[in-house]
């Protein structure tokens, strides 16, 4: 992947995230660098968001224990495995994501993004794919196969 594509991706992500953290100077600094095409700033932004905005499992576990001590109840959780036979299209998407992850010429941010999208709902994945194809078409990227090689 060329630095130009990585820079374009950083700019696109920055435009989507720029209004989400108006009071966070660190996030805004990373977003400004991303707007300048700095792909590494995207990875730094993800790390910052995960560190400062994600609810820690320990907090949730402690809250449940405290509620139980006071006799309060909370929603129970259960896990249900649903077995099914994957259709050929689903298998192809998972194979593409696995191939992408094994490549050394692909940035880690792309690997993480497409791995997560391959494990999400088909409608969300389709929306992202359509948006990527439209972006490539608007940038006059030649060859349909070239765009799918990064998926």
d(CA 4, CA 139): 12
pLDDT (average), residues 110-133: 85
- Say how far apart CA 112 and CA 151 lie, in whole Å: 12
Whole-number mean pLDDT of the chain? Answer: 79
Rounded-to-integer distance, Cα 50 and Cα 45, Å? 9
Share of the chain above pLDDT 70, in %: 77
Nearest residue to 14 (alpha-carbon basis) of 54, 44, 55: 44
For residue 140, give the DSSP letter.
Answer: T
State the average pLDDT over residues 125-141.
83
**pTM of the predicted model as reported, rounded to 2 decimal places:** 0.38
pLDDT in tens, 35-64: 998 888 888 888 888 777 776 666 666 766
56-63 long-range contacts, CB within 8 A, separation 24+:
none
What is the structure's pLDDT at 34? 92
Question: What's the CA gap between 133 and 4, in Å, rounded?
Answer: 17
Residues 102-115, mean pLDDT to the nearest whole number: 87
Task: Retrieve residue 113's tokens.
Answer: 């993004």
Which tens digits make up the pLDDT trace of 72-92? 666 667 888 889 898 898 888
Q: How many CB atoms lie within 10 A of CB 49?
A: 17
């Amino acid at each position: 992947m060329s630095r130009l594509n990585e820079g374009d991706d950083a700019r696109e992500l920055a435009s989507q995230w720029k209004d989400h953290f108006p009071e966070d100077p660190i996030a805004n600094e990373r977003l400004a660098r991303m707007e300048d095409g700095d792909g590494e700033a995207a990875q730094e932004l993800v790390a910052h968001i995960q560190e400062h905005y994600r609810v820690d499992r320990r907090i949730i576990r402690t809250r449940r224990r405290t509620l139980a001590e006071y006799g309060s109840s909370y929603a129970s959780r259960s896990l249900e495995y649903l077995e099914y036979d994957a259709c050929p299209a689903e298998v192809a998407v998972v194979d593409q994501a696995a191939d992408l992850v094994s490549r050394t010429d692909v940035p880690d941010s792309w690997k993480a993004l497409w791995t997560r999208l391959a494990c999400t709902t088909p409608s969300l994945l389709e929306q992202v794919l359509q948006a990527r194809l439209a972006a490539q078409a608007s940038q006059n990227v030649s060859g349909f196969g070239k765009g799918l090689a990064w998926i």
